[in-house]
Amino acid sequence: MHNPFVPETLEGWAILHLMYRVRWERLRGRSAAERERLAAGAARALAVPDAGSTALVQVLGHKADLMVICFRRSFDELARTQLALAQTELHDALEATTSYVSVVELGMYEMTAKIHQQLGAKLTPGSAEFERAFDEEMESQRQRVMGRLFLDMPRGRYVCFYPMNKRRGESLNWYAEAFERRAAMMREHGTIGRHYAGTVTQVISGSIGFDDWEWGVDLFAEDPLIFKKLIYEMRFDEASAKFAEFGPFYTGLQFSASDLPTFVNGGVPALT
């Protein structure tokens, strides 16, 4: 039964973030040609034969050296990719620091309320007819936004990833707020994000039941300062100022899999 007070969501790509520290001491004794061979093997393991895409990111700072972002059709495909990379020789020089599992998610606050209102005017909420009509309408909405659910990996040179929660404290609890209040706050939140359309691509993924936080956020841009400006401005909207809790941030430079040899040979890889 569809609860009118719980916003519906639409899901797309299954996403896996893998963060690694490179054990450079395990690579120094190898020739440049040998390191290139190891990199080529890893690149082949991350290639997508069917649907999906992979991003490689050189992470700035101490939290990791390399972040691998995988968009795949299912968790089974993510599992195959993770295992394929683990079987490569290069993986012997990679030390996992953290990971994150989620799925692309579009929140449907406005549409949930609209569908309940429209169907409730002619059908009995909770009835089999209502539930069937509701599912049909949600599938129609899913087809309408399929390009946002299964988007190509954004090609921005700079990438920022972070997980976040909505606060559930004793005095401020997002999930205890009325549906209309949550919808209004998310509307304000989305308005700010739309101001940055064309300069940053945001990929919001849901991780409730999958990982330690509730959502993951990936930002892609050609200017890293956009991340600072966008996130700073959003801190002032009510949904963030009162209810947002942020996890660790991972920021770096996206590069092409074909340039992985440059990275393992100690150069800054390019996005071509």
Per-residue pLDDT tens listing for the chain (272 residues): 788 888 999 999 999 999 999 999 999 999 999 999 999 999 999 999 888 999 999 999 999 999 999 999 999 999 999 999 999 999 999 999 999 999 999 998 888 888 888 888 888 888 999 999 989 998 999 999 999 999 999 999 999 999 999 999 889 999 999 999 998 999 999 899 889 999 999 999 999 999 999 999 999 999 999 999 999 999 999 999 999 999 999 999 999 999 999 999 999 999 99
Q: Is 78 domain-assigned?
A: yes
162 given a catalytic annotation: yes
Q: Is 162 domain-assigned?
A: no
Q: Is 223 domain-assigned?
A: no
CB atoms within 10 A of CB 102: 26
Q: 3-state SS string over 19-35?
A: EEEECHHHCCCCCHHHH
Q: Is 88 domain-assigned?
A: yes
Q: Is 69 domain-assigned?
A: yes
Q: What are phi and psi of 20, to 5 degrees?
A: -130, 150
| Identified catalytic residue from 162, 175, 196, 250 | 162
Q: Is 71 domain-assigned?
A: yes
Range(s) of the domain holding residue 87:
13-104+256-264
Whole-angstrom distance, CA of residue 233 vs CA of residue 42: 39
| b/e per residue 104-138 (b: at least 16 CB within 10 A) | bbbbbbebbbebbeebeeebeeeeeebeebbeebb
Structural domain tally of the chain?
A: 1
Q: Is 200 domain-assigned?
A: no
Q: Is 226 domain-assigned?
A: no
Q: What is the pTM of this model?
A: 0.93
For position 42, which CATH number holds?
3.30.70.1030
